[in-house]
Chains A and B, each alone.
Chain A
Amino acid sequence: MEPTNNVSADLVVKDLRERFGTDAFRPQETKDSIPTYWVREPVRDILKYLKTDIKKPYRTLFDLSVVDERFRKHRQGLPDCDFSVTYHLLSYERNNDVRLKVALRGENPSLQTISDIWPAANWYEREAWDMFGIVFDGHPNLRRLLLPPTWKGHPLLKTHPARATDMEPFTLPDDRQEVEQNALRFEPEQWGMQRRSETSDFLFLNLGPQHPGTHGPFRIVLQMDGEEIIGLVPDIGFHHRGAEKMGERQSWHTYIPYTDRVDYLGGVMNNFAYVLTVEKLAGIDVPQRAQTTRIMLAELFRIASHLVWYGTFAQDLGAMSPVFYMFNDRERIFGIIEALCGGRMHPSFFRIGGLTQDLPKGWDRLIDDFIKYFPPHLREYDQLVMENAIFKARTKGIGAYSLEEAIEWGVTGPGLRACGMEWDFRKKRPYSGYEQLDFEIPVAKNGDCYDRAVVRVAEIRQSLRIIEQCLKNMPAGSYKADHPVATPPRRNKMLYDIETLINHFLSVSWGPVIPPGEAAVLIEATKGCNAYYLISDGNTTSYRTRIRTPSFAHLQMLPLIAKGMPIPDLMALLGSIDYVLADVDR
């Protein structure tokens, strides 16, 4: 399934070389099949060409990330530089990605913004400035995105300490407190908003960070004329926990539990994206049984996550009962997860090369019971929520965006499928054995709140189908790859020869050493496409962990859709996007 990437990309590069000169592109070997090229400035022109002029264009800016290259040791084939900016583009028409990298030198280097080419680059560039101090010339609003405006320094720099114990003790003297409090004062002009128009004074409503409708610490400042939203500015970062920085400190193995907490409703779905990437870097083949179990658990979590969305979406629209039914069923799923994995919301069950342990005896009965129990309830929920006239009146035609906009802004998952695009990474780029399973991609066509709901509800049913197939066709065999860097390391020969004992000891105490390289695996997570772009420098920790999350892209689009809405519609929209703040802020 994957090789299409290379052939198609080679053609692209041929095309590009003809246009921009032969030496403008320098390929880099990566462990995934995504073609990666170092390009010379101005990268803007190349990106613009790829987005608009080329046949079958790359219309989605999938990710924009930065690497602090200053301490990287394995640099074979890489240009000499202090920082590199990576543009990850995606073309749905080609089913193909391309990664373009720009080498930058010096402290606080600068390059041209691409936020005028891709409006979606706005937040990515702000994040890059926030975390690395990269200046994007011409950016309309290059301010901190995830960190508070008073923060000093750029935390993802290798020179920035990762632990509080490496820093000065935190104090908050009165003058500093004064400064911090003043920084919280709301000035509409700073957010690019007018206080009044010719006809009216606007009402500025601060929604969040603590508000029942925002589903987590998320702040939106609304500029309102009556109850109509004239403008709004989303303010994120309240849930930022430095997950990417922690990836550079934790060993490859001990980082797995941190991934669970990124999309905290997705559980092992986050492990999935991470371990697949690490396995790609290390070249591990995962046994069939482990692959199928992974799919089964991931789909259980997809259902659990969709159930939370289902219930809270209904609650956002004022229905108070559905959330209780759906949380009860989610509880049932957690009961199964607990029996299988030992954990509930964050089981951290996947390991590099397989799983923590084999499925326990009787697991099939639990799954079977659930598959029989759930569909009738799902039908009941359809009657209660989806077929309710008030629910329909509140969601149909509300918060619609077109397929063009969705692709442009990097929307993935149900939000994309609700616009009529039949795109699912499980089908289009199968991983872990999804190609052997029989399921459909639910789509809808209007791209409004109701259609996003329709798609998600249909996905719950498809996930049940997948789980049923996993149950019926669970392969026998090992639950973990027999590979030197698979974790936890093998024990079977450990006590018989000293060499394996030493290896085991090192692998447990320091963690496995993953060979140098770069990779990312794009998976269909609960909210959209999730990917870990990992760079190994041949060490026990990753050199750079970039987490591309779907919610980040989805939330950035909010002002585009929400303008002109009244507050109740905004709540419907927020509910239908189905974001998780930890997934946005990481």
Chain B
Amino acid sequence: MRMMIGQLSVIFGVLIAALTAAAFLIWLERRLLALWQDRYGPNRAGPFGLLQVPADMIKIFFKEDWIPPFADRQLFVAAPAIITITVLLSFAVVPFAPGIAVISPDLGLLFFLGMSSLAVYSVALAGISSNNKYSLIGALRALAQLLSYEVFMGLSLMGVVMLAGSFNLNKIVEAQRHLWFVIPQFPGFILFFIAGIAETHRLPFDLPEAESELSAGFHCEYSGMKFGMFFVGEYLSITLISAMTATFFFGGWQGPLLPPVIWFALKTFAFICLFILIRASLPRPRYDQLLAFAWKLLLPLALLNVLITAAIVLALER
């Protein structure tokens, strides 16, 4: 019984922490972008505009829940749920601190990769079920992009797995007690982070949305809370990728003096800011350039990284 209460509290804790972080991120991103773009950003509702997010949420909850008559109803409704569910499920394996994780399966890393693969369905189904040409193009781009980047997202993590000798995220964190994997696995880190940006389809990889080309791409037809789900889903994925980057390459919750949870949060926060900074500074490549970049440059690099890491690990074991 006691264990169950403990587990439940962890589950709800993680759920609430993730959703709050995502909501807070909306504010953070708008303020940070404003800071870098020489403007104010939301600063009217509450101190520093902090109540902007609740205000937006109230608005979005009370908006008419409109489903276009030409859309495929079931898929149209399911699509935004898929992204939120898959990303939230991924949070289950994130080790926030020693012992604080919803589950700690031995194949945690694969679970994370699997869930992020499932998230592709959300974008693809949203685009196709909307029955809108812009959405369709957005969905096709999303499919091509996410499938390409997924391939080496997994590969880029294999070096980490080899060094840690496990797919278990807790063990990966513990293996970094003396040396963060970012040092031996620097190419892996870069590759993983690029793939992460592509998976969350944020600028410069926001081709499925591509505001100036496809107006809003795959979620053209969405409004109200369904649009809100995509929105929250995107911020959840940013948090997730940042948390995973911290876990795989930056020692997870490990750090001196401060409690582990704080360390974990700080590291995650740093990568979230990096996400936003990248968005503020780069233009968007064309999709063929994007795919060429993935298949011709990043994939070979990832493979090379796996080979070299494997060779070194073998050599050291001898």
Contact = CB atoms under 8 A, between A and B. Distances in A.
Contact of B38 (A315, A328, A394): A328
B281 A321 contact: yes
Nearest to B286: A568
Interface string A533-568: 000000000000000000000000000000000111
Given A320-B280, A568-B213, 15 more contacts: A318-B204, A318-B282, A319-B282, A320-B37, A320-B279, A321-B281, A324-B39, A388-B282, A393-B286, A394-B289, A566-B287, A566-B288, A567-B213, A568-B210, A568-B284
B215 interface: yes
A391 interface: yes
Contacts, number: 79
Contacts of B213: 213, 567-568, 571
Interface string B252-293: 000000000000000000000000000111111111110000
B285 A394 contact: yes
Contacts of A567: 137, 213-214
Contacts of A384: 281
B214 A390 contact: no
Interface in B274-317: 279-289
Given A318-B204, A318-B212, A568-B213, A390 B37 contact: no
A316 interface: yes
Interface string B9-39: 0000000000000000000000001001111
A325 B212 contact: no
Contacts of B281: 319, 321, 384
A205 B289 contact: no
A567 B281 CA distance: 23
Nearest to A569: B286
Nearest to B287: A568
A227 B140 CA distance: 10
A212 B215 contact: yes
B133 interface: yes
A71 B33 CA distance: 60
A205 B137 CA distance: 10
Q: Chain A contact residues: over half helix, strand or loop, or mixed? A: helix
8 interchain residue pairs of minimum CB distance: A318-B284, A319-B283, A324-B37, A317-B283, A568-B286, A318-B283, A213-B212, A316-B212
A203 interface: yes
A388 B281 CA distance: 10
Interface residues of A, number: 29
Nearest to B137: A227
Interface in B194-230: 203-204, 206, 210-215
26 contacts: A203-B133, A205-B134, A205-B137, A213-B213, A227-B287, A317-B212, A317-B283, A317-B284, A318-B203, A318-B206, A318-B211, A318-B212, A319-B283, A320-B33, A320-B37, A320-B203, A320-B279, A321-B36, A324-B38, A325-B38, A384-B281, A390-B284, A391-B283, A394-B285, A567-B214, A571-B212
A321 B37 contact: yes
A227 B213 CA distance: 12
A444 B308 CA distance: 46
A390 B283 contact: yes
B286 A394 contact: yes
Interface in A199-226: 203, 205, 211-213
A314 interface: yes
A106 B204 CA distance: 61
A567 B138 CA distance: 12
B137, B284, B288: residue with the most chain A Cβ atoms closer than 10 Å: B284
Contacts of B33: 320-321
B201 to A, nearest CB: 12
